[in-house]
Amino acid sequence: MEGTIIRKVGLMMMSIILMLAACGTMNEDSIQIYNDTDEDIEEAKQVFENDDRLRKAVVVLHDDELLAGVTVGTFERFRKTKIEKDLKEKLEKAYPEVEVLVSADNKVVIETKKMTKIKDQQQLKKEIKKIKSLSEEQT
Amino acid sequence: MKKGLLTFASRPSIAATGVTAGPLEQQSPFAPLFDKVYDDERSGLLTNEKGHAKLVEDACMIALSKVDSKPGDVDFLLLGDLVNQMTPSNFTAANLEIPYLGLFAACATSVSSLIMAALLTEAGMSQCTLAGASSQHNSIERQFRYPVEYGSQKPDTAQWTVTAAGVAAVTPNKAGNPAITKATIGRVVDLGMTEPLNMGAAMAPAAADTLQRHLDGHGTKITDYDVIMTGDLAKTGFELYKTLVEKAGMDTTTNFRDAGVEFYGNDSNFQAGASGAGCSSTVYFTDIYSKMMEGEYKRVLLIATGALLSPLSYQQKETIPCIAHAIELTMK
Amino acid sequence: MVSMFVTAFIVGGLICVIGQLLFDVAKLTPAHTLCTLVVAGSILDGLGLYEPLIDFAGAGATVPITSFGNSLTHGAMAEAEKHGFIGVLTGMFEVTSSGISAAILFGFIAAIIFKSKGKV
Amino acid sequence: MDEKKYATLEKKISPKPQIARNMFTAFVTGGTICLIGQGISLFYTTFFDFTERTSSNPTVATMIFIAMLLTGFGQYKKIAQFGGAGAAVPITGFSNAVVSAAIEHKSEGYVLGVGGNMFKLAGSVILFGVFSAFLVALVKTILVKFGVVSW
């Protein structure tokens, strides 16, 4: 009787793992960019689009700060820190004078999504600073 | 080896027995025969050890009430248990104020105290002696293994210590009561077992050795006895014990029983079965005693087994030395 | 989001399977097994392998006891990076303070509230 | 019957631990506990200011609290009997070790009993954790000083 349970569960596990890996890659509506500066956002969209490790991206561009919250594919999460570094370099090359912060953390994605709806400038600045301090925190 | 053998010409009798047990023991097949059962491990007191002492004291009082005598009439009190320095037995002796001899043979104390009582009666020094042993699950678990609430996975060879006390009143020969005729003092046997969660395997050789010495020394055979019951070997130990006895050329299929195997019935919650001085003493003083009084058993051989380790000896990587004392009861 | 739950379940389960193998095959006592896993956790972090596992599995890697060893080492190394050798000592409980303090605090509160029973 | 012969006889007769079954139950129990942990950490990231990384601290504290309640009401030893390492390896097992020792030795008073025995089971985990962390961090710092490895 033992053997059958183990085989059944093994099968179930394998199917779940396959399902995880096969999630969709980037497409048009999975990138949200909120930009209230005169910077050209086309290049940022390019950076996120052709990086197939990402699944979703939310970007806020506000005077000299760019805040990007990305969600990576399941098995890419092993190299989350490396992905963050790559994107940061690319974006800094694209927008040299802008201060870039890229984070693959869930919290940042949630907060940036909320921020895209905030209208007044003051509130937006405060939020960006809060997110910056959050992501540096160790404990 | 003819040493350590005792024969009691005056055939001292077990006049009465008193057995008290804890809440979990109510699901034991022997539960109807228990004299008193508590619905709380500590029998309503503050600490486990206090509950343990009350358990023993009540058993003594019940045994005395059955021979309608009072603590003042008792010559000797022979008790033992597994708690450090046997404090529950000591506190019971303090309350009963009977001349007291503390005996330690781990779970074999039930038989070793009977043997000592028979010796005192045989020597004509005692009209009534109380002999018994007891154990309590919580106080033994926390001392020998882990705190009670700690979640460790017990293997299938683990045994559950019984919360019970069994005391017998031993008097000079009385017709109609089981008489103590022969006994064998066990030798400490240590075949290199180290796992405290498999004590049955450690105790089995001691039981086989004592059985062999009893049969050779007293010139009796397996078939002379209606039942040969070991103390608390439990499933694993009982199998090993029977294998050892069969290797010595004796048939173990008919009259071999074990208190540890039968105490909790076949409940897998208790892994291999029961253990503790309470287990052997209660089964001997209820099931065996009543069956002898009703005439079902004429002659029985009781071999209580005990593991003589301590938490310290285990941590110092010592092996587990074990002992088994045997006593023969006959109805005439 | 759902994938985090599945990976946590699988990685957490696998670490516990390793612990169970230490129980049954290596015949270690629970205390020995936990110590082995804690040491393994801190060695893995020394090699930089445990942080990616936490990124991948989330609670699946932070709940097992290996994360205790990992966060001790991580705190020590982070501080050592800034202050050199003395940082190894000062940074030790930097990251994992909540585990120990919660255990001590709740242990004592439990001792006040509860009384142990022997039922099966 | 000498020791070696008896040892082989004992090995033959004593029931072996069912390794396959135990591995499966440990996997399921450990997985479920980590699943609950993931749920709690998600709760902290959405409603409080914790990132994924920093939410592990409050999650661990909450899991320890839950394990305290389960131990106090005598349920944890049933989970552990079923799950084995699945209940001992997660942080709830560590909390169960501390809480059960504290409850058990309450009868000896708070200072000598609870205070003296609380870390009877879990103390070795902290000791070896700190010692191994110290060694690993020391070795790494030395290697970095020699430029063999970078941070």
Ordered by where they begin, the domains of chain A are 25-136 (3.30.300)
Query: Which residue of chain D comes nearest to C1, CA vs CA?
Result: D42
> Model's pTM, two decimal places?
0.90
Kindly indicate the confidence band of residue A45, based on its pLDDT and cuts at 50, 70 and 90: confident
Dmax over Cα atoms in chain C, in whole Å?
Answer: 54
d(CA B208, CA B230): 10
Residue A2 has pLDDT above 60, yes or no: no
Q: Do chains B and A touch (3 or more CB pairs under 8 A)?
A: no
Q: Distance (Å) from the C-alpha of residue D18 to the closest C-alpha of chain A?
A: 10
Phi, psi for residue B265 in degrees, rounded to 5: 65, -150
User: If we measure between CA atoms, which residue out of B211, B209, B260 comes closest to residue B237?
Assistant: B260
C23 vs B contacts (CB less than 8 Å): 153
Domain boundaries, chain C: 2-113
Q: Please tell me if residue A110 touches chain C, with a CB cutoff of 8 Å.
A: no
Domains of chain B: 5-171 (3.40.47.40), 179-330 (3.40.47.40)
Question: In the prediction, which pLDDT does A16 show?
Answer: 67
Question: In the prediction, which pLDDT does A139 show?
Answer: 59
Q: Please tell me if residue D76 touches chain B, with a CB cutoff of 8 Å.
A: yes
Q: Are B153 and D96 in contact (CB under 8 A)?
A: no
Residue A18 has pLDDT above 70, yes or no: no
Residue B89 has pLDDT above 80, yes or no: yes
B233 vs D contacts (CB less than 8 Å): none
Residue B307 has pLDDT above 70, yes or no: yes
Out of A13, A16, A77, closest to residue C55 by CB? A77
Polymer length of chain B: 332
d(CA A28, CA A30): 6
Percent of all residues in chain B with a pLDDT value above 90, rounded to a whole number: 91
d(CA B49, CA B92): 11
Q: Do chains C and B touch (3 or more CB pairs under 8 A)?
A: yes
C97 vs D contacts (CB less than 8 Å): 57
Residue A23 has pLDDT above 70, yes or no: no
User: If we measure between CA atoms, which residue out of C20, C66, B272 comes closest to residue D83?
Assistant: C20
D57 vs A contacts (CB less than 8 Å): 139
Question: In the prediction, which pLDDT does B10 show?
Answer: 94
Q: Are B130 and B64 in contact (CB under 8 A)?
A: yes
Mean pLDDT over A69-97 rounds to 87
Show which of residues 37-56 on chain B sit within 8 Å of chain C, judged by CB atoms.
41, 48
Question: In the prediction, which pLDDT does B126 show?
Answer: 94
Residue A78 has pLDDT above 60, yes or no: yes
Do the chains contact at D27 and C102, CB–CB below 8 Å?
A: no
Mean of the per-residue pLDDT values for chain B? 93
Question: In the prediction, which pLDDT does C95 show?
Answer: 83
Domain boundaries, chain D: 3-120, 123-151
Mean pLDDT over B124-146 rounds to 93
Question: In the prediction, which pLDDT does B1 show?
Answer: 60
Residue B124 has pLDDT above 70, yes or no: yes
Do the chains contact at D50 and A105, CB–CB below 8 Å?
A: no
Question: In the prediction, which pLDDT does A17 show?
Answer: 64
Q: Are B161 and B106 in contact (CB under 8 A)?
A: no
What are the residue ranges in chain D where pLDDT is below 70?
none
Kindly indicate the confidence band of residue A120, based on its pLDDT and cuts at 50, 70 and 90: confident
Chain B interface mutation, best of D2, D13, D79, D99, highest count of B Cβ atoms under 10 Å:
D13
Kindly indicate the confidence band of residue A94, based on its pLDDT and cuts at 50, 70 and 90: confident
Question: In the prediction, which pLDDT does C84 show?
Answer: 87
d(CA A75, CA D127): 35
Do the chains contact at C109 and D68, CB–CB below 8 Å?
A: yes
Residue C96 has pLDDT above 90, yes or no: no
Question: In the prediction, which pLDDT does A40 show?
Answer: 76
Question: In the prediction, which pLDDT does B266 show?
Answer: 84
Residue B182 has pLDDT above 70, yes or no: yes
Q: Are B164 and B19 in contact (CB under 8 A)?
A: yes
Mean of the per-residue pLDDT values for chain C? 90
Question: Could you say which DSSP state residue B188 is in?
Answer: P
**Tokens found for residue A101:** 């912060």
**Residue pLDDT, tens place only, B20-54:** 999 999 999 999 999 999 988 888 888 899 999 99
User: If we measure between CA atoms, which residue out of D96, D120, D94, C107 comes closest to residue B145?
Assistant: D120
Do the chains contact at B147 and D103, CB–CB below 8 Å?
A: yes
